[in-house]
Amino acid sequence: MKIQDSVALVTGANRGLGLAFAKALLAGGARKVYAAARDPASVRLAGVQPIQLDVTKPAEIDRAARELGDVSLLVNNAGVLRGSGFLGANGVEALRAELDTNFFGPLLLSRAFASILAKNGGGAIVNVLSVLSWVSFPTASTYSASKAAAWSLSNGLRLELSGQGTQVVAVHVGYMDTDMARNVSAPKATPDDVVRQTLAALEAGKPEVLADEASRRVKVGLGADPGVYLAPPAVPAPA
């Protein structure tokens, strides 16, 4: 799809990668950018339309779909990381929170906006995933599970929405220079570069973005013997 004249809804658009998406979409000629956040007052980027939206609340998602009938690009960016393993003291609570935001949020938004995208020519959905969609750390295995589920969601949506011409792009990246990775000393991608690659993939009709060396290396390692997912990942664990 073309960014020029598109109408985008970006979740988690008040900071980090979401803010970078909003800026780049405006610069790329989007006709309108809805910048969604739990607190719309935290959206301070000129030129966007702030939208109050908590992706864990189905009623707010349904309201957004009723009110934003001109959307042609949905960017499922909002995400959380609780930093827990499955057997951690708060492992179950962490997983539920991460699934609510990282999986059920994109699922419910995609369901709510699928018919809107069809009405507006097909459009596209971008799901922000992670290199941890494919590998896991003991200190973040619940997060990995939520992102693995979101990867499966992306692949399923791509098939289910192909008939209406909706493009689905899955974005995999390791560490980015955002608040989520502020305590990590490993090399980090910049949000601006991840967005640049993602919008280029959208316009080229590509289904997947491997936005850094870590994601490219791990993707290749999925087919190795033994698979990269059977051994400790060659990227530092989240703090």
Query: In angstroms, rounded to a whole number, what is the distance separating the alpha carbons of residues 153 and 146?
Result: 10
Q: Which of 23, 32, 143, 175 is catalytic?
A: 143
Token representation of residue 131: 């290199």
Task: Kindly state the DSSP code that residue 52 receives in the 8-state scheme.
Answer: E
Q: Which residues of 47-70 are buried (b: 16+ CB within 10 A; e: fewer)?
A: ebebbebbbbeeebbeebbeebee
**CA-closest candidate to residue 102, choices 64, 136, 142:** 142
147 an active-site residue? yes
Taking residue 40's Cβ as centre, other Cβ atoms within 10 Å add up to 15
Environment class of residue 94 by beta-carbon count within 10 Å: exposed (0-12), middle (13-18) or buried (19+)? buried
Is residue 25 within 8 A of residue 3, CB to CB? The reply is yes
229 an active-site residue? no
Query: In angstroms, rounded to a whole number, what is the distance separating the alpha carbons of residues 61 and 111?
Result: 10
Is residue 186 within 8 A of residue 235, CB to CB? The reply is yes
Q: Which of 23, 32, 34, 147 is catalytic?
A: 147
Is residue 133 within 8 A of residue 144, CB to CB? The reply is yes
Query: Catalytic amino acids?
Result: 143, 147
